[in-house]
Amino acid sequence: MGRRRLKLIFGPAMVKEPVIYQLGKQFEIVTNIRRADVTRDQGWVLLEITGEPEELDRGVEYLESRGVKVEPAEGDLVE
């Protein structure tokens, strides 16, 4: 099992879409929201995902294919 701490960033087109629900439904992934800040036209969600590493990779790919920006929860790590 693996786990990842992610920050999902939503633009205006995505704010209303239930992508986190879909992520849990379409993949063998457990989702757990830790914090969020969502307004009418943008937002971010800090999300923990757990599952098999390959499944997590597929889940992240899915989010990106839906137009969500996916970053490590703590921001850029390459300094």
Partner 1 sequence: MAKLLGLRCRECEAEYELQATHVCEMCFGPLDVVFDYAALKKKVTRDRIAQGPASMWRYRDLLPIEDATPVVTLGEGFTPLVKADRLGAELGLRNLYLKNDSMNPTNSFKDRVVSVAISWARANGFETIACASTGNLANAVAAYAARAGLECFVFIPVDLEPAKIVSISVFDPNVVAVRGNYDEVNRLCSQLVESTPWAFCNINIRPFYAEGSKTLTFETVEQLGWKLPDEIIIPIASGCQFVRHRQAVRELMELGLVREDRVPAFTGAQALGCAPVYNAFNSDTPERVLPVRPDTIARSIAIGNPSDGMYVNRIALETGGVVEAVSEEEIVAAMRLLARTEGIFTETAGGVTIGVLAKLARAGRWKGDEVVVAYVTGHGLKTADVLAKVDGHARRVEIEPTLKSFREKVNI
Specify whether the CB–CB gap between 50 and 3 falls below 8 A.
yes
In terms of CB distance, is 25 or 34 closer to partner 1?
34
- Give the residue carrying structure tokens 């439904």: 25
Among 46, 50, 58, 66, binds partner 1 (CB under 8 A): 46
Among 28, 35, 54, 67, binds partner 1 (CB under 8 A): 35
Among 22, 48, 50, 58, binds partner 1 (CB under 8 A): 48
Distances (CA, A) of 56 to 24, 37, 38, 39, 43: 11, 23, 24, 27, 22
**Site residues (CB under 8 A) for partner 1, limited to 3-32:** 3-5, 9
Q: Alpha helix locations (H) across the chain?
A: 19-26, 53-65
Q: Under the rule (CB under 8 A), what is the footprint of partner 1?
A: 2-5, 9, 34-35, 37, 42, 46, 48, 60, 69, 71-79
